A and B are shown apart, each in its own frame.
Chain A
């Protein structure tokens, strides 16, 4: 009965694997430190807009934590917090099940910037980066935003169809 939903979770896991293994080979060397692919988060934004912000929050917390534990950076939980919070906030503002493509793309740009800024904020609070915000925006946030934009364009049609199917499944479950 929860077929579609497990497909979504599996897709997220697959994307998580791809962003750590295959994408570093595809992105040109010069851009590697500047484009930080976060495919999971792109899908989460879709979930937040077309499905529900609570689902996006839970998924954001879980997959953020997975990223934190697998890559074990400076502090545990930074990605978990950033992804969960920004997916939830985006859902709070833009949860529009019938949102058209241009609006969704704007959401992707905003959400990507928000997530990177939250991460930047966390590291700044703990005195872990010395660079100014303006440098960070130009160095990696803008390229990442554009990269996520392109990924979202590719994923738009299949993802929206999946999410609509999940919704339909849910409503038939409730009707039954």
Chain B
């Protein structure tokens, strides 16, 4: 990016930062008061989740150790070993625009923090978007709502799979329908076990998107454009509004 753009974006970003965060706190306070009565219910659910997590964690540790031993025995290269080691960095949202066909947000991590274009950005709920432009101290996140097969600058399609059907399901998430607010997953081969209510995650095939990012849940599966493959309609799990913090997933830099 050229220096006038860098300068303009970073100075504006600096001013915006001073406004966005306090506004978020005030709005958050009112939201918290509104949510007060749901707290006990949420607490109960979280307790169940935590217990489940503790069980899974023990299992996970065994599998991880075993996995590492196997990798060592099979003599994985360094690049192969670090393929799935991601770093998660918290970013503050600085400002946002919500135009229907052109919505982006600005976050306060930039090239100086090691952000590169095409890194994935997630919220606690799931995949939010992809870094599209990086200046020194801020960067622009293109939301998933801007996915469009007709746009040459759109973020690349996401290779996706369903949880518990990792080896069997495959599809490409290619576009977003602003009329229904749903994502479309195309190129699902015939005979695929994908079904409504499946949770869709990125599969990591292709290398651009890290694997295991939650994208959404399947609402319906239809016959695709040319009748050969199916298309799944996916309800995104992230809500595309009112963020405070987002997480940028740093992947190992790798020669393409």
A residues touching B (Cβ–Cβ < 8 Å)? 17-18, 20-22, 24-26, 29, 32-34, 36, 66-67, 69-74, 78, 119, 123, 127-131, 135-136, 139-140
Contact = CB atoms under 8 A, between A and B. Distances in A.
Nearest to A127: B150
A17 B16 contact: yes
Contact of A24 (B13, B98, B150): B98
B19 A71 contact: no
B99 A36 contact: yes
B52 interface: no
B96 A70 contact: no
Contacts of B151: 74, 127-128
Question: Of residues A18, A22, A72, which shows the largest number of chain B Cβ atoms within 10 Å of its Cβ?
Answer: A72
A123 B102 contact: yes
A56 to B, nearest CB: 21
Contacts, number: 107
14 contacts: A17-B16, A17-B95, A20-B16, A22-B20, A24-B98, A29-B241, A33-B178, A33-B181, A67-B97, A70-B12, A70-B13, A78-B102, A128-B150, A130-B150
A22 B19 contact: yes
Interface of B: 5, 8-9, 12-13, 15-16, 19-20, 23-24, 26-27, 94-104, 106, 132-133, 140, 146, 148, 150-151, 153, 178-179, 181, 239-242
A175 to B, nearest CB: 38
Contact of B106 (A29, A71, A127, A129): A71
Contacts of B239: 29
Nearest to A135: B179
